[in-house]
Structure 1
Amino acid sequence: MVLTAILVDDDYPVARYLSQSISWKELGIELIGCYSNGLEAWENTQQNLPDIVITDIGMPKMNGLEMLEKFNQANPLFRAIILSCHNEFDYAQQAMKLKVSDYILKESLDVDQLQQLLHTISVDLSKEKHRAAEMLMYMQKESLNRSALKEQLLKDTLYQLSWTKEAWLNHAQLNGVELDARYYLPLVIYIDRMSEVSETRKMNDYTISFAVENVLQEVLDSMHRSVIFRHSNGELVALICCDDPVKEQQILHYTAQKAIAAIKQYLKISVTCLLGREASVPEDLRLILMPMLKEWSHRFYLGESQIHRFERATFSSEDMYAEYALFFSKINDSLALNRPEHVNEIVKEWATWVRTNRFHPADVKEWVLQLLMDLQMKTKVTLQVEHSISEQKPYDAINDIHSMEHLQSWIMRCLTELSRRLSVLSIRSKRPEIIRAQKYVIQHVTEKLTLEEMAGYLNLNSSYFSRLFKRETNQNFIEYVNMVKLQKAKQLLQQSNITVEEVSDYLGYANKSYFIKLFKREVGMTPSEFTSWNSPVRREGSKDCGANR
C-alpha cells in the first residue's frame, strides 16, 4: 500500500533538500507535492488528501497549525511531522492535539532521524488503513447480504401467486424483515436519469442506489415504519406499514417531498416517487406493484423530482408522423442557418405538441430516433461531416430514457452539440449563390480555392461576388476558406497520427510555414502544440519542489 506525503515550508532550501535526501520510494511513500504555505497546500490537495504532512509552522497566508487542523478534520487517519524554528511549549502543545507524530527543531534536524520516523509512521498508517479497509469490507458485505435478502423477498412477493399473508409474514421474518401490519402503502422511487448520473459522478449504479436508499431510509424513519427494497439499480420500493392508510397517505406525501429535497441537497441526485393505493394482503400488493415497476410508460409524462399518485395512463392512437416533415424541416433549416435559439424554440414547440396529444412513449422515442438519424445522414451527405450528433449511439442512449422531461433535454443537448459542430460550417445567408459557394468549399476543402475560381464557378463577377459574400457572411471569402480548412486541420490532428506537413499538403497549402503561421494566429498555438495539448496522455506536472513554488 503506497502512502502519499507533502512538504510544506516557505524555506525553499530546506524543502528542496528533504525532497531529494529522503528515500521516499524505499519507505513506500510517494511525495505528491511541495508547497510554500499552508493555504497553497490545502487548496491543492483537497481532491487527493495526503497521508503524511511534513510542515513548518510560521508561514504566510496560513500557518502550519491552521493547515493541520483542516487536514485533521478532512482525513482522520493522517499523520504530521512539524519542522520548526519555534522552540516554545505553546506551539508544541497545540501540535500534539493535531496528530503530530514529532516536533523537530530545524537546528537539530537529522535526515536519518526523520527517515526512521517516517518509516515508523508508514508501518503504523499501513496497519491502520488495512484495518479500516477490512472493517469497510465487512460492513459492505453485511449490507449487501441484508440488501440481497430484502431484494429476494420483494421478488418473491411479486411472483409468488399463492401466498397467504401469514406465510408471507413468516417468510419475511426469516429474512430479517418485520412487515406485520394491517395495511401497506407502496412507494416506488425512481432515480432520474441514472445513466447520466453514473457517468457524471463516476460512480457505479449500485453505489448511487445505496446512497439514495440511505438518505431515503433516514427521512422515512423519522415519520413512518417502513422497509426499503431494491428492485433494480434505478428503482427502490418502500413499503409503509400502517393501520390507518388515509391518514398515513397524507403524511407520506409530505415525507416523500422531504426525501426528494434531501436527496437532491445531499447527493445532487433527482428522484421521482410514485405512491400506490393501499394493500392489506400480498396478492393485492403484487397487483399494485407490478404495473408500477414493469410498465415505465405510465410515468413517461409525469414531472421529475416530484411525488405522484400512480394511475394507469392512456395514450393517443394518432399518427405522430403526420407532422414529422414539418418539424424535421424547421429543425434542419435552423441548424443549417446556425440559429440554435430557434432550435430550442422548435424543440419546446414539439414537446408541447407531444404532451398535448399524449402519444405512446414508445412512438415518441422512435420518432426522435428517426429524426436524429435523418439529421445525421443529411449532415453527413450534404456537409461531409462525420459523427455529427453524438459519440454515443442514439439508440443506446434513448433506451435509458423513461420520461418526457428527460427526452426533451436530451434531444436539445444532441441538437446543441450538432449546432456547435456545424457552426464553423454554417450557412448564414439565404442567397443561393452564397449557399452554393459555402457548400462547394466544404466539399472541396482539400483543394486550393481562390476568389476568382469561385466567382467563375458561380458565373459571377469576382468583385461583385467578393462584396456579396462579405455582406452576407460578415467575412471575406478567403477568411471563410481558411476557417473551414483549419477546422478540418484540427480534426485531422486530433484523430490521426499524420504529420503537420502532411496536413498542410492535404489541405492544399503550398507553403507549410504559411499554414503554421495561419494556424497559430487563429487557434492560438502551433499545430504541434495543439497535437500535444489534445494528446490522451498529457505529461504530468513535475514533482520537484521547485515546480510548486
Structure 2
Amino acid sequence: MYKVLLADDDYPVIEFLMQEVPWERLNLQCIGYAEDGLAALGMAQEDMPDLLITDIGMPGMDGIELIQQLKQLNAGLRTVILSCHDEFQYTRQAVKLNVQDYVLKESMEIEEITEILEKLVIQLEEDRSETEKNERLIHSFRQNEGVLKEKLVSRLLISPIFNELQWQAEFEKFGVNFSRTSYFPVVCYLNEHDKQLKRLQSEELLTYLMTNVIEEILHAHQDAACFHLGGQELMLLFSEPGRQGGRSAAGGAEHAYTWLRDIQSALRQYVHIDVGFITGKQYCMDH
C-alpha cells in the first residue's frame, strides 16, 4: 500500500476524508493527519508518505512551504492541495512545485477526490515499476561487471589496437577517461598463490576476496579502477589528483604508492592475503 499524509487545520475536512475515501480499495493507507504544516513536516520525517493532501493556509507553515520541504526529502512525492482560495497566485505556485491537483473545498466531492487518488496511485505504481526495473538492471550490470572488465583487458592484451577512440570508449563505461586524465597503471599479483588456494579451496573465492577489499579501499578514490587480468593478477589504474594531462610518471607513482600501501595492509589484515605490485608508465591519450 502507498502511504498518505493529511495536513489541514480544518478538522471537519480531515474527518470527511478519513471516513469517506475508500483508502483500502485504492491501495492507500492513511498514516495520519496534522493540523499545521510544522507538525506534518515532523510526521513525514518520521514516516515519509508517498502522497500528501494538504491545505494551503495553516498555522506555523503553510501548504506551499510544506510541499517545498517534503519535495527536498522525497522528489517523487505526489501532492494534492485543498484550499478555500480560488486565486491565481496559489495555482501558479502549485504548478511550479509540480502539484498533481488543486481542489477547492467549497466544491469538493468524494467522487472527485477518489478519481484524483486513483490517477495518482497509477502514477506511483508506474514509478515503482520503473525503479524496480532500474534496480534489476543495476544489479545485473554489477554481477556482470567483473566479467566485462576481464574481457576488455584480455582483448587489450592479446589484440592490436586499431581504433584507439573505440578502445577509449570501452574503458569509459567503467569510469576511466583517457582523453582527459593521465593514469598510472599498477599490476597487483598474489604472493604464494598455491598456499592461498589450498587455504580457500576456490580460485573464484580468492579472486573475489582480493577484488572486494581493493575496490573497498579505492571507493574513496575519485578516479581509480580495478580490472581482473585473469588468474592471480589485477590491474589498477590511478589518476593524478587535481591535474590533467601530462605530468611526470614519478608524480603519478608517488600518488599511487599511498593507495598501494593501504591495499597491501588491508589485504593482510582482513583476508590474510599478501600481494606485490608492478608499476607501469603513466598514460594519457594526448601524451
TM-score normalised per structure 1: 0.35
Task: Report the alpha carbon displacement of residue 105 of structure 1 after superposing the two structures with TM.
Answer: 1.3
- Classify the secondary structure of the residue corresponding to 2:220: helix
Is the CA contact 1:7–1:53 (under 8 Å) kept in the aligned structure 2?
yes
Q: Do structure 1's residue 247 and structure 2's residue 251 form an aligned pair?
A: yes
Who is 1:228 aligned against? 226
- Residue type of the alignment partner of 1:295: R
Identify if the C-alpha distance between structure 1 residues 38 and 296 changes in structure 2 by more than 3 Å, giving closer, same or farther.
same
- Classify the secondary structure of the residue corresponding to 1:275: helix
- Residue type of the alignment partner of 1:85: C
Q: Do structure 1's residue 275 and structure 2's residue 261 form an aligned pair?
A: yes
Is the CA contact 2:239–2:252 (under 8 Å) kept in the aligned structure 1?
no
- Residue type of the alignment partner of 2:67: L
Give the distance between the partners of 1:177 and 1:215, measured in 2 at CA.
18
Is the CA contact 2:185–2:238 (under 8 Å) kept in the aligned structure 1?
yes
Task: Report the alpha carbon displacement of residue 186 of structure 1 after superposing the two structures with TM.
Answer: 6.1
Give the distance between the partners of 2:46 and 2:255, measured in 1 at CA.
41
Q: Do structure 1's residue 108 and structure 2's residue 115 form an aligned pair?
A: no
Identify if the C-alpha distance between structure 1 residues 107 and 182 changes in structure 2 by more than 3 Å, giving closer, same or farther.
closer
Which structure shows the bigger proportion of residues in helix conformation? 1
Who is 1:21 aligned against? 20
Task: Report the alpha carbon displacement of residue 137 of structure 1 after superposing the two structures with TM.
Answer: 2.2
Task: Give unmatched runs, 5+ long, in structure 1.
Answer: 158-164, 189-207, 221-225, 231-235, 257-272, 277-288, 300-309, 312-549
Is the CA contact 2:53–2:82 (under 8 Å) kept in the aligned structure 1?
yes
Is the CA contact 1:227–1:238 (under 8 Å) kept in the aligned structure 2?
yes
- Classify the secondary structure of the residue corresponding to 1:46: helix
Identify if the C-alpha distance between structure 1 residues 24 and 246 changes in structure 2 by more than 3 Å, giving closer, same or farther.
same
Identify if the C-alpha distance between structure 1 residues 293 and 252 changes in structure 2 by more than 3 Å, giving closer, same or farther.
closer
Give the distance between the partners of 2:270 and 2:95, measured in 1 at CA.
61
Identify if the C-alpha distance between structure 1 residues 146 and 56 changes in structure 2 by more than 3 Å, giving closer, same or farther.
same
Which structure shows the bigger proportion of residues in strand conformation? 2
Give the distance between the partners of 1:62 and 1:186, measured in 2 at CA.
59
Between the two structures, name the one with larger relative contact order (CA 8 Å, sep ≥ 6): 2
1:452-503, CA deviations, whole angstroms, 9 ceiling, x for partnerless residues? Answer: xxxxxxxxxxxxxxxxxxxxxxxxxxxxxxxxxxxxxxxxxxxxxxxxxxxx
Task: Report the alpha carbon displacement of residue 147 of structure 1 after superposing the two structures with TM.
Answer: 3.7
Give the distance between the partners of 2:134 and 2:110, measured in 1 at CA.
36
Is the CA contact 1:185–1:275 (under 8 Å) kept in the aligned structure 2?
no
Q: How many residues align?
A: 228
Is the CA contact 1:53–1:80 (under 8 Å) kept in the aligned structure 2?
yes
Matched-pair identity in % = 27
Give the distance between the partners of 1:52 and 1:14, measured in 2 at CA.
17
TM-score normalised per structure 2: 0.63
Aligned-CA RMSD value: 4.4
Task: Report the alpha carbon displacement of residue 57 of structure 1 after superposing the two structures with TM.
Answer: 0.6
- Residue type of the alignment partner of 1:184: P
Identify if the C-alpha distance between structure 1 residues 149 and 77 changes in structure 2 by more than 3 Å, giving closer, same or farther.
same
Who is 1:35 aligned against? 34
Task: Report the alpha carbon displacement of residue 90 of structure 1 after superposing the two structures with TM.
Answer: 0.4
Is the CA contact 1:15–1:34 (under 8 Å) kept in the aligned structure 2?
yes
Give the distance between the partners of 2:111 and 2:215, measured in 1 at CA.
46
